[in-house]
Structure 1
Amino acid sequence: MKKTGLVLGKFAPLHRGHQYMIETALKEMDELHVLIYDSDLIEVPLHVRSRWIRTLYPKASVIEAWDGPQEVGDTPEIMKKNEDYIIERLQDVKITHFYSNEFYGDHVSKALGAENRQIDRNRDAFPISATMIRENAFRHKEYIHPLVYDDLIVKVVFVGAMSTGKTTICSRLAEKYNTVWMPEYGREYWEKHQVNRRITAEQMVEIARGHIEREDKLSYDVNKYFFIDTNAITTHMFGMDYQGYVLDELEMMALKAQSRYDIYFLCCDDIPYDDTWDRSGDQKRHIFQKQIIADLKERKIPYVELKGSLEERIGVVDRVLARFRKYDNPASLAYK
């Protein structure tokens, strides 16, 4: 007889305990369905939570329960409402095993005519809950897959021409918020590989690729906020300035950068110019700053300007972060 399993939940967010249940079911079943409910408990949208499971477990069939009941309890009315919904969504699928570690395992499995498979009911293997993670994801990150964790942190990128204070503010903010920051990889690469102050279009691709790879490695060490000095769009602009064109791979990385980061801060060129050997002068800085602003506008990327002293700039960042919600509607901030 074909064995067909069912796992359900909000996965708000998905953690190692959930994964243990899903992985156990996949080992034991011929077919597995995962029913995911919409939820107000977490800002992360349902389709993002579904993507976690689809990516990590491509053999599982994911069902998005956008209209699923939100009530949880052991009253006859609530139990019947949940049972009816599950049966309706499954349609003709015959479930033989229902997987859970909650009280509802008993009544749902009976309604389905399935075996009640309780997995780590006392949470001995994985002493974690979604509530604990929602309260402090960083403290419990050992129970969160990096793919999931990346969607829980806030990526804050700082752009601007050379000598506009990006590195200084990133390092200071990382210290203030007890987190990590990502230095500009392009500058490090340029200093090692430049010939007569120039690098090739192919090397521009290596810069953008290397920067992203380092970001990905650092992201699991982030404590809520990830402060990042420049991105692939900046590399794209330097490429256009150096060669007058960029290769397709860099073009694509710049396009992806438009939605890779949650907040863009533009460091303005109103501070004294630091005339180091690797820079092209204050006049070039002002020109490049205009080009960056034009590019942000062309890409329709919302950004916040940072002007004045370091303390004034940090004050602006603090206020923005205090209001920011990762999955909120950015346009709504203008009316708050």
Structure 2
Amino acid sequence: MTQRRYRLGLVVGKFAPLHAGHEALVAFAAARCEQLLVLSYSRPEFLGCGVEARRRWLAERFPAHDCVVLDDSAIAQRCAERRLPPRGLPPNDADDATHQDFLGWLLAELLQRLPDAMFGSEAYVAPCAARLSHRLGHPVDGVLFDPQRRTVPVSASRLRASPADWDRHLAWPVRASLVQRVCLLGGESSGKTTLAAALAARHRTTWVPEYGRELWEQRAGRLQEGDMLHIAREQQAREDAALRTARRHLFCDTSVLTTCFYSLAMFGRVHPEVLARAGRRYALLVLCAPDFDFVQDGTRRDAGFRARQHDWYLQALQERGWPFVLAQGSLQQRLDRLSAYLPEGLPSEGG
């Protein structure tokens, strides 16, 4: 039996996150359509799966298809362009009729697209397609794909709660963007390296050592001003590379903010690119307190220098308005304090 070929197909989803089941659905739909419209919206957004992230994922994974990701601001802008009264997204937990009415308005008024088929894996596909047919005055077939989830046994809600499944069900660009980078700052001998390694072990992930210290030891403490830019670039390159093996969290022993400190301390100025790179944001910033005896390993200055470093970090973070967690006490006390800030799942953003 020859399968029907549609002119325009439609796939709608939150894609929070975009996973292998979604990709299989899109491939199924694309094989049956001349063109495919992939439409995404969510209210609320889910942490790590915001509108910009989903736009990037869909563009990277489905470059041949028309991918549209909307939030209230994007809808308002399109409404203004078409001189339509603005309309907000329905809540995710709204009833089926509300979602069907909104989708019909979206296709008819805002996007002005007439799909011939709607593809999905849920029971709502058939009644939604029937409602769209009536609203659009154009027949829309409801086409089910793998409703029992046998092809790819996964759901977005499960993945949000279980990062252990990410490796199997998320494409690399999606998985990497969901990893939350945690940066540990602190003066010399403040325990940040020990804490970074311990956190990585507890959360079964990886951590990124401080490259500046590595280079300092290789050069026997003889660094040039030009090395500061090299350190900044290499530190961030190693962070980015570590995303391939990280799971849920990536613990970073220092950031380019540290490079700024040493550049000022050693040379009295900071290269503009180093300063710009120091603006990289992290999901969580941890400042390790200098609250235990200073340990001299042969490469460090002294306790007074450590105290000045700590004060500089406090001022730098406050000037930038960056919130941080102060890690104090023993290693166990620090681990216990940070556990509240490092959830394993992806909770919802907003209401």
Q: Which residue does the alignment assign to 2:198? A: 172
Q: Deviations over 1:67-89 (max 9, x none)?
A: 34435777xx4675355344345
For residue 4 of structure 1, the aligned residue among 5, 8, 27 is 8
Q: Deviations over 1:142-188 (max 9, x none)?
A: 21123322343332211011111001112222223333222222222
Residue 328 of structure 2 is aligned to residue 307 of structure 1: yes
| SS at 1:4 equivalent | strand
Summarize the Cα distance change of 1:285–1:167 in structure 2 as closer, same or farther, 3 Å threshold. same
Deviates more, 1:225-234 or 1:2-11: 2-11
Q: Which residue does the alignment assign to 1:53? A: 58
Q: Which residue does the alignment assign to 2:210? A: 184
- The letter for the 2-side match of 1:181 is W
Summarize the Cα distance change of 1:166–1:79 in structure 2 as closer, same or farther, 3 Å threshold. closer
Q: Which residue does the alignment assign to 2:40? A: 36
Q: Which residue does the alignment assign to 2:317? A: 296
Residue 280 of structure 2 is aligned to residue 280 of structure 1: no
Q: Which residue does the alignment assign to 1:334? A: none
TM-score with structure 2 setting the length: 0.77
Deviates more, 1:158-167 or 1:215-224: 215-224
Q: Which residue does the alignment assign to 2:221? A: 197
Q: Which residue does the alignment assign to 1:142? A: 168
Q: Which residue does the alignment assign to 1:218? A: 242
| SS at 1:245 equivalent | coil
Q: CA deviation at 1:103?
A: 2.8
Aligned residue pair count = 322
For residue 230 of structure 2, the aligned residue among 187, 191, 206 is 206
Q: Which residue does the alignment assign to 1:250? A: 274
CA–CA separation in structure 2 for the residues paired with 1:101 and 1:298: 50
| SS at 1:164 equivalent | coil
Residue 84 of structure 2 is aligned to residue 64 of structure 1: no
Q: Is the 8 A contact 1:160 1:292 kept in 2?
A: yes
Q: Which residue does the alignment assign to 2:75? A: none
| SS at 1:265 equivalent | strand
Deviates more, 1:120-129 or 1:161-170: 120-129
Question: How large is the RMSD of aligned CA atoms in angstroms?
Answer: 3.3
Q: Is the 8 A contact 1:138 1:222 kept in 2?
A: no
Summarize the Cα distance change of 1:310–1:273 in structure 2 as closer, same or farther, 3 Å threshold. same
- The letter for the 2-side match of 1:52 is W
Q: Deviations over 1:282-333 (max 9, x none)?
A: 222222222222211222111122223223322322344469987758xxxx
Q: With a CA cutoff of 8 Å and minimum separation of 6, indicate the structure with the bigger relative contact order.
A: 2
Deviates more, 1:22-31 or 1:174-183: 22-31
Q: Is the 8 A contact 2:162 2:344 kept in 1?
A: no
Q: CA deviation at 1:229?
A: 1.0
Summarize the Cα distance change of 1:82–1:170 in structure 2 as closer, same or farther, 3 Å threshold. same
Summarize the Cα distance change of 1:10–1:162 in structure 2 as closer, same or farther, 3 Å threshold. same
Residue 337 of structure 2 is aligned to residue 316 of structure 1: yes
CA–CA separation in structure 2 for the residues paired with 1:37 and 1:280: 53
Q: CA deviation at 1:45?
A: 3.3
- The letter for the 2-side match of 1:287 is R
How much identity, in percent, do the aligned residues show? 27
Summarize the Cα distance change of 1:104–1:296 in structure 2 as closer, same or farther, 3 Å threshold. same
Q: Is the 8 A contact 1:45 1:327 kept in 2?
A: no
- Structure 2: state its 5+ residue gaps: 73-87
Q: Deviations over 1:4-40 (max 9, x none)?
A: 3322111122102212333555676554432212144
For residue 16 of structure 1, the aligned residue among 5, 20, 42 is 20
Q: Which residue does the alignment assign to 1:102? A: 122
